[in-house]
Structure 1
Amino acid sequence: MWNPEVYLAYADHRGRPFYDLTSRVAATDPRRVVDLGCGPGNLTQTLATRWPGATIEAWDSSPEMVAAARERGVAAGVGDVREWTPLPDTDIVISNATLQWVPEHRELIVRWATELAPGAWVAFQVPGNFDAPSHRAVRDLAAQPRWAELLQDFPFRSAEVVESPQDYAGLLRDAGCTTDAWETTYVHELTGEHPVLDWIHGTALRPVRSALGDAQWEQFREELAPLLAEAYPQRSDGTTFFPFRRIFVVAQVGQRR
């Protein structure tokens, strides 16, 4: 289960990559804009403001997130991005911080590029921080004997969850697209007693939470908190710097040969 309230705790920080991504999509009058992995819909809403003449289509695999999006007036549906196919009038496909959850997403983005009409856009952003101290701490703790059997299906076992910007650019260039790929490391200034733990609670730790009972979950959090505090020490002014690398790709489908 996804918890929209937990996810939105850092809405401003999480929203900035979405705006940086969509600002590079140069479409002026798209007919249909699709948000795959729309989450609670707070960012999807902005697409209707950016392109008021477009039909906005939104998908998410979480019923809880879809319910939150619908409360905001977003016409979202429950669905797996792997099963989505574009309608003929689809001009823009956006996926923000979703494809890292899909092991076969490399093949998926190539399929989208071949199914979309020439001139259509594919834009996605994925975290590139799977080798960061936060994720290493979770992996190391999950590998301890007392947790290993319970967490054997933890999905982020290595740093190779996503590709580099140049590898994604190569995949889409080979699929006939022009590409714009880059990476950015945001330095988030967080506050609170356990700010990094609170941040990853709503995302990376979700599979851990779903695999553990309440008492086990509290114990795991208690063991993880000092590891994260050591990796991300609090400054004397009460803030904690949390560097977060993200990978961006914007591609436009070319003419078929």
Structure 2
Amino acid sequence: MDWDPALYRRYEDERTRPAAELLARVPLASARRVVDLGCGPGNSTELLARRFPEAQVLGVDNAEPMLADARKRLPEARFELGDIARWQPAGEAPDLIYANAALQWVPGHEQLLPRLFGLLAPGGVLAVQMPDNRQEPTHRLMRELASQAPWASHIGDADRVRTELLAIGGYYDLLAPEAADVDVWHTIYQHRMASAAAIVEWVSGTGLRPFLDPLPTELRASYLQAYAQGVESAYPARSDGRRLLAFPRMFIVARRPA
């Protein structure tokens, strides 16, 4: 996908809030090796570097434009191009594997999460946050339009664009048998957005990318126009003129036995 770091950063405060709340629940007093899977432009990696100033911090992403931004932002950390589905530590096992809003793009969670958990050092922590908004109007509209002409032939199977998450208890069951502790929770953020257009802009930097990228220029414009009309109806103005964007997110923090 054609990730745009500048567009992603436009709502950086809102995107970083769940990253900080995930990190706040990580039960580590210190760490020597920390990995940020799906690091994007480095906003979450910066949180990790501040929390663990003595650690070797590695950010991994599959988009070079994101990595270029991350290197400028945090030159003291190391960043590398990589695929989360196949990633392995090159040296010693990490004390923290942290993945903020990244694993929802990777299929096969029944194998992926136990594999990542097994890569940790003794006493290490796997910390994951994933948007759980496939059934929100923003994302239902994406798929509904993508299944219609003239866009469907370019986009393909819209239901397979993003991984279907397990129920929260399913992730607990995957990790609990081998873990010293598993903490799972679900939060629905209510982001105050200036307009329906602002909501479209927000998702244009993330969830809309797999739908827009395959479209030729003229069809991209018509898809966005139809999508904006749907968002305008689905998110009515509140008493102050703003729109509330409900954004469910799932959190998982699992610690290996020491």
For 1:34 and 1:162, how far apart are their aligned partners in 2? 22
For 2:213 and 2:97, how far apart are their aligned partners in 1? 30
Among candidates 210, 216, 230, match of residue 213 of structure 1: 216
Spell out the pairing of 1:26-65 with structure 2 (5 A cutoff).
26-65=27-66
Q: Which residue of 1 aligns with 2:135?
A: 131
For 2:180 and 2:114, how far apart are their aligned partners in 1? 10
Q: Which residue of 2 aligns with 1:240?
A: 243
Give the deviation of 1:153 after TM superposition. 4.3
> Are the equivalent residues in 1 in contact too, given 2:196–2:243 (CA < 8 A)?
no
Q: Which residue of 1 aligns with 2:257?
A: 254
For 2:212 and 2:5, how far apart are their aligned partners in 1? 15
For 2:101 and 2:23, how far apart are their aligned partners in 1? 13
Q: Which residue of 2 aligns with 1:199?
A: 202
Matched letter for residue 149 of structure 1: S
Matched letter for residue 200 of structure 1: V
Give the deviation of 1:147 after TM superposition. 1.6
SS in 1 for 2:116: helix
Give the deviation of 1:145 after TM superposition. 2.6
| Contiguous gaps of at least 5 residues in structure 2 | none
Give the deviation of 1:117 after TM superposition. 2.5
For 2:112 and 2:156, how far apart are their aligned partners in 1? 26
Q: Does 1:173 align with 2:183?
A: no
The alignment's C-alpha RMSD in Å is 1.6
> Are the equivalent residues in 2 in contact too, given 1:164–1:247 (CA < 8 A)?
no
Identity %: 38
Matched letter for residue 148 of structure 1: A
> Are the equivalent residues in 2 in contact too, given 1:69–1:75 (CA < 8 A)?
no
Q: Which residue of 1 aligns with 2:12?
A: 11
| Contiguous gaps of at least 5 residues in structure 1 | none
Q: Which residue of 1 aligns with 2:67?
A: 66
SS in 2 for 1:194: helix
With over 3 angstroms needed to count, the CA separation of the structure-2 counterparts of 1:156 and 1:205, relative to structure 1, is farther
Give the deviation of 1:34 after TM superposition. 0.4
For 1:218 and 1:31, how far apart are their aligned partners in 2? 48
Which segment drifts farther, 184-193 or 33-42? 184-193
With over 3 angstroms needed to count, the CA separation of the structure-2 counterparts of 1:69 and 1:153, relative to structure 1, is farther
SS in 2 for 1:43: helix
Q: Does 1:151 align with 2:155?
A: yes
Give the deviation of 1:43 after TM superposition. 2.1
For 1:224 and 1:208, how far apart are their aligned partners in 2? 11
For 2:101 and 2:254, how far apart are their aligned partners in 1? 17
Give the deviation of 1:46 after TM superposition. 2.0
TM-score where L is the length of structure 2: 0.93
Deviations 1:17-39 (A, max 9, x none): 00110101111121101000000
> Are the equivalent residues in 2 in contact too, given 1:139–1:156 (CA < 8 A)?
no
Q: Which residue of 2 aligns with 1:81?
A: 84
Q: Which residue of 1 aligns with 2:112?
A: 108
